[in-house]
Structure 1
Amino acid sequence: MSKYFLLPTALLSALVLSCAALASGGNHPSIPGTELSVVWVLPFACMLLSIAVMPLTLPHFWEHHFGKIAVFWGLAFLVPCFFAYGFSVALYVLLHTLLLEYIPFLILIFSLFTVAGGVRLTGSLTGSPLVNTGLLAVGTILASWMGTTGAAMLLIRPLLRANAHRRYRVHSVIFFIFLVANIGGSLTPLGDPPLFLGFLKGVSFFWTTTHLFLKTFFISTVLLTIFYILDTVLFRREGSPALPRDPGKAEENLGLDGKINLLFLLGVVLVVLCSGLVQMGEIAEVYGVPIEGQNLLRDLLLLALARLSWKYTDQRCRKMNGFSWTPIVEVGKLFLGIFVSMIPAIAILRAGTDGALAPLIRMVSHNGEPVNSMYFWLTGALSSFLDNAPTYLVFFNTASGDAAHLMADTGTPLAAISAGAVFMGANSYIGNAPNFMVRSIAEEQGVAMPSFFGYMLWSVGILVPLFGVITWLFFV
């Protein structure tokens, strides 16, 4: 077994052992979001600034110590939390985040990364504007049915290989993040975690398909058109380069290698879906943090599927696919710091009108009537930097929390909340789980991706005006 299976397996083993050791831990108070000032968000802000600035200013130091830096900013929250609220609260919020959010997150993306990394598109696709636009369109469609992470991990390597001979490649990866890793996942609960939470809260499976279809179709079509025009201009500037051919090497037919992984990929999707539909109840408690049976079983099955993929995929296939563990290791280390330092920001947001962000929360209604444009922008803006799943849930509950009412009344903000949470995850590298993963894979394969702020210049310049048009067309 590869050593890279040890991290998620060890984390899950620690969870199981903790269940046995701490099952009688009892309930513990969480961090009181109503008491927190915005000062508590500083470690999270510094974590984001580290990701944005240090790779540019201290590249060698960052490359060798980014994991330690992530842990440092996590501790920059935990240590003051310990002194302000005591050991019990600090330990509880840490375990709650690790056991219910970070470990499941890491296991899911690890399994998708492993399984999708075993599927290789054979043959030679030349990264022409038409081929690239076609790959983005296919990925956008697949994202709603196999998740943005699954679609992104499946298609990013074929896109990179098709364009390996080209001079200009950054724009292809950026539009890939826009469409495949985010916007494409807006049509079903399988597409993105916020919509899955809505499904668990009672939103019907195809509600987002019908109510977000025009919005998704509009922005996807515009983005694909912009990409095609931009890629055509750059392709011609390069002299319309053809894919280099090796005369001594036999040409491969177009097809798929490692097809068994498609079955494992379907298994991942079904396991995640069933974990939300089948309730096994609480089986243990870790220092007040409830561990539910269906979630523990889901994580075990996901690791099993990843292990089967590794075992039954020819390693030559993975090697030719450019597969390595570096991206998942980088994401695992950085997101540990992000998840922990983000705790007070989420707590303040969940406090609603009683928290430090109350002025923002109050902006979503006027004279008792919902302001759909503000639901769209506030959900989206916060989802760009915070976890979009709890952000969605906060505004879902603010809007009434009654799924039947929100679905029945077309004037309700449910569509605005859903679109904001999914669409605007594309605004930054950390807005959605696959964004950073795609960036890491692209950089590993030689694409000089923009910095954190550099990427946001693209998103602000292209996406934000489109979000303004969507607001005018659908949410005013």
Structure 2
Amino acid sequence: MVAAGVLGFLPGFAGAAEIDGGALSVWWSIPFAGILLSIALLPLLAPAFWHHHFGKVSAAWTLAFFIPFAALFGPALAGGSLVHALLAEYIPFIVLLTALYTIAGGIFIRGNLHGSPARNTGLLAIGTVLASVMGTTGASMLMIRPLIRANDNRNHKTHVVVFFIFLVSNVGGSLTPLGDPPLFLGFLKGVDFFWTLRHIFPETLFLAGSLLVIFYLLDSWYYRKEGVLPVDPTPDTRRIGFDGGINFWLLAGVVALVLMSGFWQGAPVFRVWGTEVGLQGMVRDAGLVALTLISLKLTPASVQHSNQFSWGPMQEVAKLFAGIFLTIIPVIAMLRAGADGPFGAVVSAVTRPDGQPDPAMYFWATGALSSFLDNAPTYLVFFNTAGGDPTLLMTALAPTLAAISAGAVFMGANSYIGNAPNLMVKAIAEDRGINMPSFLGYLAWSGAVLVPLFVVMTFIWFK
């Protein structure tokens, strides 16, 4: 924030104009497509190179966008866009993510339950419920380690982590603004805090319940196939407890800060290089940083050691999503240009011939883009496409808002980059020696399991 404040006083850059997406060519989406293809293919084609240089690859694609853009449109517009992406989107995103990762990583669930199909299903159900209370990131970081430990003697455990991503890292966050960033942005725009709980609870119950049943059947099949399991390196214990309990209070502080930033109205707003930064956001982010530092200070080293806590997964997410947030700038601008923009076909597809919004198309368009773009700005694009009036969207156009909300949250599970916890869980699992699917391999899982359920949901709720 201090660095951004200094930038705000540089001459010639304050008040930089917003990008006119209608004037851009689709070629400006190449850097974004490039970073997506790099994430998908390089771990397969050059794993050693990717492991050591993924941050440089992310930076290279970012420069491939900003250098030509600054040359053609001027440093003011390029710099203003950069600062807006950092201050309004990336920094709040990564600060919240780091706080949840650190605080949840400071809680060690003692004891070890044997990873039977019933117990695994129970752990997934608990994590799914927690996701709407403490966010998909917080629930994922809290539950993934004990789940991995419960299955550390299983031969087949990749599917356990894949369904964990489906349920805990995505579907479970659909009921409150605390659950997933898109819903939090809707809350900031004026959507009632409990609106999604009232309007997409049946869809969430159907999807979560179906996934839990499918998982139980699949895990039971693997369990029977394995037969006699090897000796468990962390044997079962009857006594379950928590170490690092102070972090539960810190998690409550995270929830309070997020709620405060949504309910605090009329706070002073500062302009930094053309980007509005509200005091409530600054207080929230400063508070989250403070809670992160308090957690690091008060959590015993033994707890972090027991959790095998490391910064590797967080570093990977931070570097890759920095590139994603920055190269996505022209893509979002082109989508915001509406029917007259380069992606006008996408916008036109969500409107019926009579001019009324089509909930089914909103569900699939929001979901398809949320699978590969960041689902928070994608939610905002279609929120505004549907009119942007929260009162109208919560009443007369409630099916449309429900479709947008469900598409953004549910279909974030379709790929590793659809939602930040997906990539973090993958990195933690791989750090524990679990052979996770490649980017394309994960798409095969989501295509086989999730997409058929989304089709069923369309005919029931979004027709």
Please tell me whether residue 382 in structure 1 is matched to residue 369 in structure 2: yes
How far apart, CA to CA, are the structure 2 residues paired with 1:409 and 1:370? 11
| More divergent stretch after superposition (400-409 vs 110-119) | 400-409
- Asked if the contact 2:134–2:178 (Cα under 8 Å) also holds between the matched residues in 1, the reply is yes
Residue 453 of structure 1 aligns with which residue? 440
User: TM-score, with normalisation over the residues of structure 2?
Assistant: 0.96
Please tell me whether residue 161 in structure 1 is matched to residue 149 in structure 2: yes
1:177 to 150, 165, 169: 165
Tell me the CA shift for residue 400 of structure 1. 2.1
How far apart, CA to CA, are the structure 1 residues paired with 2:389 and 2:80? 29
Tell me the CA shift for residue 427 of structure 1. 0.5
How far apart, CA to CA, are the structure 2 residues paired with 1:306 and 1:246? 29
Alignment CA distance shift 1:391-1:449 (3 Å) = same
2:337 to 351, 360, 367: 351
Unpaired segments of 5 or more residues in structure 2? none
Please tell me whether residue 230 in structure 1 is matched to residue 218 in structure 2: yes
- Asked if the contact 1:426–1:435 (Cα under 8 Å) also holds between the matched residues in 2, the reply is yes
Tell me the CA shift for residue 274 of structure 1. 0.8
1:296 to 267, 271, 282: 282
- Asked if the contact 1:197–1:393 (Cα under 8 Å) also holds between the matched residues in 2, the reply is yes
1:41 to 20, 24, 29: 29
Please tell me whether residue 419 in structure 1 is matched to residue 418 in structure 2: no
2:265 alignment partner, SS class: coil
Residue 322 of structure 1 aligns with which residue? 308
1:102 to 82, 90, 97: 90
Please tell me whether residue 206 in structure 1 is matched to residue 203 in structure 2: no
Residue 259 of structure 2 aligns with which residue? 273
Please tell me whether residue 333 in structure 1 is matched to residue 322 in structure 2: no
Alignment CA distance shift 1:44-1:461 (3 Å) = same
How far apart, CA to CA, are the structure 2 residues paired with 1:385 and 1:151? 22
- Asked if the contact 1:31–1:85 (Cα under 8 Å) also holds between the matched residues in 2, the reply is no
How far apart, CA to CA, are the structure 2 residues paired with 1:341 and 1:322? 33
Letter in 2 for 1:133: T
| More divergent stretch after superposition (402-411 vs 350-359) | 402-411
The root-mean-square deviation of aligned C-alpha atoms, in Å, is: 1.8
- Asked if the contact 2:102–2:292 (Cα under 8 Å) also holds between the matched residues in 1, the reply is yes
- Asked if the contact 1:55–1:63 (Cα under 8 Å) also holds between the matched residues in 2, the reply is yes
Residue deviations 1:132-168, cap 9 Å, x none? 1011101111111111111111111111111111111
Residue 3 of structure 2 aligns with which residue? 14
1:125 alignment partner, SS class: coil
Residue 419 of structure 2 aligns with which residue? 432
How far apart, CA to CA, are the structure 2 residues paired with 1:398 and 1:70? 30
Tell me the CA shift for residue 201 of structure 1. 2.0
Alignment CA distance shift 1:280-1:411 (3 Å) = closer
Alignment CA distance shift 1:174-1:279 (3 Å) = same
How far apart, CA to CA, are the structure 2 residues paired with 1:246 and 1:405? 54
1:91 alignment partner, SS class: helix
Tell me the CA shift for residue 327 of structure 1. 0.6
Alignment CA distance shift 1:251-1:427 (3 Å) = closer
2:270 alignment partner, SS class: strand
Tell me the CA shift for residue 282 of structure 1. 4.3
2:109 alignment partner, SS class: strand
Alignment CA distance shift 1:412-1:273 (3 Å) = same
How far apart, CA to CA, are the structure 2 residues paired with 1:331 and 1:342? 16
How far apart, CA to CA, are the structure 1 residues paired with 2:226 and 2:394? 50
Residue 390 of structure 2 aligns with which residue? 403
Residue 192 of structure 1 aligns with which residue? 180
Tell me the CA shift for residue 242 of structure 1. 7.0
Residue 9 of structure 1 aligns with which residue? none
Unpaired segments of 5 or more residues in structure 1? 1-11
Please tell me whether residue 310 in structure 1 is matched to residue 296 in structure 2: yes
Count of residue correspondences: 462
How far apart, CA to CA, are the structure 1 residues paired with 2:391 and 2:270? 32
1:290 alignment partner, SS class: strand
User: TM-score, with normalisation over the residues of structure 1?
Assistant: 0.93
Q: State percent identity of aligned pairs.
A: 55
- Asked if the contact 1:73–1:341 (Cα under 8 Å) also holds between the matched residues in 2, the reply is yes
